């Protein structure tokens, strides 16, 4: 008893140091999450504070999971995620591999390549909107130059078939440099002596690439895929600027749809259930992926 009065124990001091962080974590992350889960079982609307709030059980979840339009949004999101990651990894790794070779102007090219990711997504969206313009857009003219088609005969943003690809192209243009930088870090972390040993063993360049380069860069690549996956799952600004979710609902990703439900239609309870479903999906997928990443690192 006397010891406690004289001074604080080590454990108490540790708690005092950790308490602000725990408090912030609870206030900023845990409380909103619990509150959102609570709201997801209600018909609450944030713009109708004077209306009675009723608990509706699992009705919001049932509505969302049986809504064909929402499944179409999910499909659009999956298409966007898969193809942006595929192209960004492919092109990003190729660029990193080339940049990793020592040549004159190496630094200048690196700077030029990373420029797109320094721009604001809103600016990039507007900028590409003009490039895709059927009558005056540079993109259409370049395609027309190589294919002989009339530039105004196709609409990248207005066509149901082309619009999903138009957003993939812009996101790939903007974020491939990010993947490239991560891959470059991976490539530069491979010690030269491994390649020298392989040379002595007379391993071909192709063999060196598949048995040294790829396995050693793989954890970096997987990390890049994780970052881009999480980022693109919540993609909003770029696509809103480019297509507004159209034509129709062709490029209406889940984040755009969720924003409309929450802050335009003000169906707060419904949107909360929607957010929880998305959270569980991302959290589940990310957990599986991180486990796989750790296994790769351990090898």
Partner 1 sequence: MKYSKLTAVSALSMTIAGLGASAQADDLTLCWAAWDPANALVELSKEFEAESGHSMSFEFIPWPNFADRMLNELNSGGKLCDLLIGDSQWIGGGAENGHYVKLNDFFDAEGISMGDFADATVYAYSTWPKGTPNYYALPAMGDANGWFYRKDWFAREDIREAFKAETGRELGEPKTQKEMLEIAQFFQGREIDGQTVYGAAIFTERGSEGITMGVTSALYPWGFKYENTPGSYDMEGAVNSAEAVEALEFYKEFYKTATPPGYTNSYMGESLDAFKSGQVAMAMNWFAFFPGLYADPNTGGDKIDFFVNPPQNQAGSTLGGQGISVVAYSDKQDAALEYIKWFANPEVQQKWWDLGGYSAHKAVLESPEFVDSAPFAGDFLEAMGAVQDFWQEPAYAELLLAMQKRIHDYVVADQGTAQEALDKLIEDWTETFEDEGKL
- Identify the residue among 13, 19, 33, 46 touching partner 1 (CB under 8 A): 46
Nearer to partner 1 by Cβ, of 88 and 243: the residue is 243
Question: Does 228 participate in binding partner 1 (rule CB under 8 A)?
Answer: no
Span from 16-24, 42-50, 114-122, 173-181 in contact with partner 1 (CB under 8 A): 42-50
Q: In this complex, which beta carbon is closest to partner 1, that of residue 10 or of residue 264?
A: 264
Q: Tell which positions 83-112 bind partner 1, by CB under 8 A.
A: none
User: Among 152, 156, 147, 153, which Cα is nearest to 136's?
Assistant: 152
Contacting partner 1 within 130-149 (CB under 8 A): 133-135
Q: Which of 73, 88, 243, 272 binds partner 1 (CB under 8 A)?
A: 243
Scanning 165-173, 184-192, 227-235, 262-270 for contacts with partner 1 by CB under 8 A, the matching segment is 262-270
Residue in 25, 38, 48, 126 binding partner 1, rule: CB under 8 A: 48
Regarding 47 and contact with partner 1 (CB under 8 A), the answer is yes
Binds partner 1 by CB under 8 A, chosen from 198, 249, 285, 286: 249
Cβ 156 to partner 1, closest distance in Å? 9
CB-based burial label for 31 (10 Å; 0-12, 13-18, 19+)? exposed
The yes or no reply on residue 260 touching partner 1 (CB under 8 A) is: yes
Tell me the C-alpha distance between 256 and 73, whole Å: 9
Closest to partner 1 by CB, 198 vs 260, is 260
Q: How far is the CB of 13 from partner 1 (least distance, A)?
A: 42
Q: In the complex, which residues of this chain contact partner 1 (CB under 8 A)?
A: 43, 46-48, 50, 69, 133-135, 152-153, 155, 157-158, 160, 240, 243-250, 260, 263-267
């Amino acid at each position: 008893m006397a010891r406690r009065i004289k001074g604080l124990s080590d454990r108490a001091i540790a708690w005092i140091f950790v308490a602000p962080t725990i408090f912030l974590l609870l206030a900023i992350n845990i409380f909103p999450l619990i509150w959102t889960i609570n709201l997801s079982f209600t018909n609450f609307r944030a713009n109708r504070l004077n209306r009675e709030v009723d608990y509706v059980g699992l009705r919001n979840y049932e509505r969302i999971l049986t809504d064909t339009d929402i499944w179409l949004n999910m499909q659009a999101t999956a298409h966007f995620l898969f193809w942006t990651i595929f192209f960004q990894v492919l092109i990003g790794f190729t660029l990193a591999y080339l940049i990793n070779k020592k040549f004159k102007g190496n630094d200048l090219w690196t700077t030029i390549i990373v420029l797109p990711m320094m721009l604001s997504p809103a600016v990039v969206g507007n900028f590409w909107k003009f490039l895709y313009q059927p009558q005056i857009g540079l993109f259409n003219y370049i395609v027309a130059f190589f294919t002989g088609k009339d530039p105004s005969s196709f609409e990248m943003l207005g066509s149901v078939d082309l619009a999903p690809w138009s957003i993939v192209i812009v996101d790939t243009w903007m974020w491939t440099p990010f993947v490239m930088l991560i891959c470059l870090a991976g490539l530069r972390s491979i010690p030269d002596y491994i390649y020298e040993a392989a040379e002595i063993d007379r391993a071909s360049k192709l063999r060196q690439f598949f048995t040294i380069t790829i396995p050693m860069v793989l954890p970096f690549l997987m990390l890049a895929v994780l970052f881009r996956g999480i980022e693109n799952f919540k993609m909003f600004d770029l696509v809103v600027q480019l297509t507004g979710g159209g034509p129709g609902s062709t490029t209406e990703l889940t984040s755009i749809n969720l924003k409309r439900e929450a802050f335009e239609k003000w169906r707060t309870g419904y949107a909360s259930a929607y957010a929880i479903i998305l959270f569980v999906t991302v959290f589940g997928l990310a957990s599986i992926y991180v486990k796989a990443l750790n296994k790769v690192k351990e090898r």
